[in-house]
Amino acid sequence: MKLLNWDVAVIGGGHAGCEAALAAARMGLSVILFAIQLDSIAMMPCNPNIGGSSKGHLVRELDALGGEMAKNIDKTFIQSRMLNAGKGPAVYSLRAQADKRRYAREMKRTLENTRNLCIRQSEIMAVKLDENGRVRGVYSESGAFYECGAVVLCAGTYLKARCLYGDVIHETGPNGLRAALGLSDSLKRLGIRLQRFKTGTPARIDKNSIDFSEMRVQEGDEPVIPFSFDTEPALIQRVQVPCYLTYTNAQTHEVIRANLHRSPMYSGVIEGTGARYCPSIEDKVVRFADKERHQVFIEPEGEDTAEMYISGMSTSLPEDVQEAMYRTLPGMSGCRVMRNGYAIEYDCIDPTQLTTGLMFKNIRGLFSAGQINGSSGYEEAAAQGIVAGINAARFTRNKPPIVIERSEGYIGVLIDDLVIKGADEPYRMLSSRAEYRLLLRQDNADIRLRRRGYEAGLVSAEKYERLIQKTQRIEDEIQRIRKITIAPSPALNEFLRVNGTAETMTGVILAELIKRPELSYNACAVIDAGRPELPADIREQVNIQIKYEGYIKRQISQVEQFKRMESRKLPDNIDYAAINGLRLEARQKLAFHKPANLGQAGRITGVSPADISVLVVFLTAFQSMSERGPR
């Protein structure tokens, strides 16, 4: 039985699947998105927030490319904060608490109202290839065949998932939803290597059973800064809901230690690899045994629910222990658990099988994005989703993939890390992973990536034109303040004195004044008579680009070095085993990973700088030979 013909099929309706499907559909292709349960589209099964350090960058970049996550959280947030404000412009991070239900509902509505996009409740059991190893379509559980030109796997944590707490084991996906039991084996038959990861979530507790007076209140920022570059700030100022901070104590740790043997993590029932950055509270107490207390954040799951998310205390301890443990916290002595915390194990792929365009190297037309690639987090999933969606669409039109470089965005760092280094634990985006992060700021994501979105066909000409104008105005203003010399005067010195910085006897270039730590572009307005009226985002760019010019230049020269290596392509048909100068380990690793260029080759674990020198020489010889032909 054959059911219609689609350009792109997306398997999974989580954060990766939604972005992949929207991207392909908006590019004008016919798209079908399969979800095991339509009510779980864009579900947030764990933390109730979007953004945060480096994840906020991903969301901004996603928005610049024409993605949906930023717009969707702008519609549905219940609290918003700009984090890291004191730590420098490179690491400012926007984070918003979501109303989970509304977030999911809004996203589903957007999918439903997108032309060319069909959503379908069904479990996909197998991917079919043609005789040339190219994707032909997918089979649903009833055996129906959906023919399509490209497939994007966005199965999240559902593949052979099982959820555990205490001695309870459920063969389900997150939140009690049905697991996907068929697809893993189909992928294995296609020769895809799988691994098993583990993550977890804390309990949800009834708001009405918590005494918040014993906790520290965390309010949102005012005014709220939108995630999306297209959201008008004035339209999203709304009453915000607070979060709360409390701490574990000796008694909490006592309860946990006394019951460690009842945790599936410690009894050996769990096989999957967990992430160091997402430890359960059991892990924290064991690994940091001398720490007297751990932070716990109490976050609302939404405005229409009493459920509170207990951030910092994910657990897979038995039900009775969970209850006892949470009750040791200040203000929670009478708390009522509504949903148990649990650990979840699932199959994911070894992401080194993918190209930087997120297609399987050996299976043309099969793409993969999100937690199935070994990442974790809604934002990481969505970021991969849009790239896979764009590239699946381009594949069906015989266009080369779009690749975002490490020097262009956190999305580039994320994908490059996954496909080049692989993941031996669930991968979380961290700002420390981005080498060029002073250039990859959340404030300039549009300047960095809008063009890529426009070229992909996801950003309208009108929006792109607006960006060009913005860039031009920034450039004009920077040129202007570099040229202006402020003459010495009592008024100037009065201004300098008031701002606590050195006075001057000679004229000073305005740009140099702005660089002083005590001053800024905005602060200098009073001494800058000819200043044009500019919007806040442009003033921010001018300030950052002038103030951090020295560091920015350093990073730009690092990027140039990086690009030189990335531009040296390694042909597909290199026989690494036959290159004598390479060490044996390097031959094996290179043959296995088939890096696309020298830069990638250098990032593979087990390839040394000496091996790269050999490759440089080989490449030169190889190219000369191809140019001159055999002699």
Partner 1 sequence: MIAAVSTPAGRGGIGIVRICGPDALRASAEFFKLKYKGPVKPYTFRYGFIFDGGLLIDEALLSYMKAPHSYTTLDTVEINCHGGYAVVQKVLSLAVKAGARLAEPGEFTKLAFLNGRIDLSQAEAVMDIISAESDYALISAAKQLSGSIKDKVSSLRAEILDAQAVLEVSIDYPEYEDADRADVIQRISEVSAKLANMAVMANLGGALASGVKTAIVGRPNTGKSSLLNALLDCDRAIVTEIPGTTRDVLSEKLHVGPLVLNLMDTAGIRQSGDVIERLGVERALACADEADLIIWVLDASCEMDNDDFSVWEVIRGRSNAIGALNKSDLPPVLRKQAIMDMFGVPFFNVSAKNSQGLDGVKAHIINMFSAGDIEPGDLLTAERHKQAAERAAAFLKSAAEAAVAGVSDDLISIDLTEAISALGEITGENAGSDLVDRIFSSFCVGK
Alpha helices in 519-608 (DSSP H): 536-547, 549-566, 584-593, 598-603
Q: CB-wise, 155 or 604, nearer to partner 1?
A: 604
CA distance 223 to 231: 14
| Phi (first) and psi of residue 75, to 5 degrees | -75, -25
**Nearest approach, Cβ of residue 616 and partner 1 (Å):** 7
Q: How wide is the angle at C-alpha 220 spanned by C-alphas 426 and 41, nearest 5°?
A: 45
CB of 245 to partner 1, least distance (A): 8
Which residue type occupies 429?
M
Q: Which is nearer to partner 1, 71 or 284 (CB)?
A: 284
Q: Which is nearer to partner 1, 424 or 503 (CB)?
A: 424
Quote the least distance from Cβ 522 to partner 1, whole Å.
17
User: Nearer to partner 1 by C-beta: 390 or 440?
Assistant: 440
Provide the minimum distance between the beta carbon of 87 and partner 1 in the complex, in angstroms, as a whole number: 5
Contact of 301 with 100, CB cutoff 8 Å: yes
Our CB check for partner 1 shows the closer of 500 and 532 to be 500
Query: Residue 69: in which H helix or E strand, if any?
Result: helix 69-76
Long-range contacts of 480-489 (CB under 8 A, 24+ apart): 480/530, 481/510, 481/511, 481/514, 481/521, 481/528, 481/542, 481/546, 482/509, 482/510, 482/511, 482/546, 483/509, 484/509, 484/510, 484/528, 484/530, 485/509, 485/510, 486/510, 486/513, 486/527, 486/528
Our CB check for partner 1 shows the closer of 92 and 346 to be 92
Q: What is the C-alpha end-to-end distance of the chain, expressed in Å? A: 57
Nearest approach, Cβ of 527 to partner 1 (angstroms)?
22
Q: Minimum distance from CB of 402 to partner 1 (Å)?
A: 27
Radius of gyration for the alpha carbons in the chain, expressed in angstroms and rounded: 26
CB of 594 to partner 1, least distance (A): 20
Count of Cβ atoms closer than 10 Å to residue 627 Cβ: 7
Q: Compute the distance between CA of residue 370 and CA of residue 374 in angstroms, rounded to an integer.
A: 7
Q: How far is CA 236 from CA 45, 75, 76, 81, 225, in A?
A: 25, 7, 9, 13, 9
What is the distance between the alpha carbons of residues 238 and 566, in angstroms, rounded to a whole number?
A: 46
Put the strands of the sheet holding 49-51 in their side by side order. 49-51, 93-98, 77-83
Residues facing 163 on adjacent strands: 170, 344
How far apart CA 409 and CA 434 sit, in angstroms, is 8
| Cβ proximity to partner 1, 570 vs 582, nearer residue | 582
CB of 583 to partner 1, least distance (A): 7
CB nearer partner 1, residue 76 or residue 93: 93
Name which of 458 and 496 has its Cβ closer to partner 1.
496
Q: Which is nearer to partner 1, 312 or 318 (CB)?
A: 312
Least distance to partner 1, CB of residue 73, Å: 18
Provide the binding-site residues for partner 1, judged by CB under 8 A: 46-47, 52-54, 83-84, 86-91, 93, 202, 245, 275-279, 284, 287-288, 291, 294-295, 297, 311-312, 314, 421, 430-433, 435, 437-438, 517, 548, 551, 554-555, 579-583, 605, 608-611, 613-614, 616-618, 620-621, 624-625, 631
Q: Which of 453, 454, 342, 433 is nearest to 380 (CA)?
A: 433
CB of 359 to partner 1, least distance (A): 26
